[in-house]
Structure 1
Amino acid sequence: MHIRGIILEGYSNSGKTSLLRTIKLMMSQDESAERSLIVLGEHYSQVLNNVNGDFLSLGRSDHIKLLQERAEMLKRLNEWAIGLGPFSRKSRGLFFVLERFHLNHRVAFSDTLSNEIVELEQNLVVLNAKCALLTISDDIVEERIMSRDAGLWKGKPKEEIINACNELVETQKLLREQVKLSKVPSIEINTDSKEWDKYAKQIIEYTDLEG
């Protein structure tokens, strides 16, 4: 089976989008890598979405169904390649990147998790999926938030900024708790230094490891 991939998890401002871009670029420049690269940003898999200016949140059953559909798509593409006969990773191998996927579901519905999330994760393992949980240190949370969305926070009350920082810290704790329960092999990467090339290389190499 010539399929492998990474799931980028982490709260807002942890660097998922920057790392996603870097992985795409790095894979495109590697002549020995898979020619087929599938990248699904968070809008294809997250719980909360901005629809025509309104924020809409999917329920547990609708969200798990959405994730299952995305995983099934990857499974079918892989089966198609296998059905064509022997091939090399470069010629018909498949590398995928998913943003905000199973851990996003676990955290959003931590009080009502069902066996469906376990089944989904088992299917992801079959597809050679690995997870990278991106985090930032508590003492730079405000700096990271302000550096990314400086215009958004200009003139905002200090209390609102503090609340946003606290929400990030608490969500990171939940993500760390849930990643320990997940079936998908995972690593945690601290992105304080914003060394995206370094992190991307580490992640791509991690997808090649057994187990």
Structure 2
Amino acid sequence: MTMNFIEEYTEKLSNYLCDLPPHARNNVTNEIRQHMQDLSSELEDSGYSKGEIAAELSNEFPTPQKLAGKYIEEYKSSNAELTEKMNGTTTYTLILLLGGLVAFIVPIYQSTVNLFALVPFLTSFVLGLVLINKKKHFIASKSFKQSRLMLCSIVGLGLAAFSLGLVINDNFRIIFSLSVLFLFLISSLVSFINIRIILKGN
């Protein structure tokens, strides 16, 4: 019963700590779990029953929501610089990632490509993916949620570019544009999967 109480408490606490980065959330949850287990052992050694131990733990610790609120406020006040860094990392990661995808739209429409002009954008896209995975603890998840809508808009522009090229462009080469469109959609899917992993982890 006591262990169930501790696990239920720490699980709720972890859910309420969703605004913290995963590593900070885990540190807090593990710290509280250890405190509760230590107190439980002391009470058990003193002859307390399991029901009495659970009651004492309830009296000793505030509700998970209140305790989470306290830790979040402390974290925010002591990590203003980190928050600024997270927002900055989020911004330039999205610029690199989504900006790189936008570059596909022109060759999709024109059904031709200047490789030298495209290389910087492809490099930008790859760097964006690398940053997502290397700096995932410094990604501000709330800001990152908007990226899914932005990504869907870019995909819509790519499909629109193909349709317009097919109708308007007299020199339209459908096989070439389809190839670029396929690469564009694959890259967009990879971006979406990485964004989803970041949001799920944070």
- Higher RCO (C-alpha under 8 Å, 6+ residues apart): 1
Q: Is TM-score (shorter-chain normalized) higher than 0.5? A: no
TM-score by length of 2: 0.30
TM-score by length of 1: 0.29
Q: Which has the higher helix share?
A: 2
Q: Which has the higher strand share?
A: 1
Of the two, which has the highest radius of gyration?
2
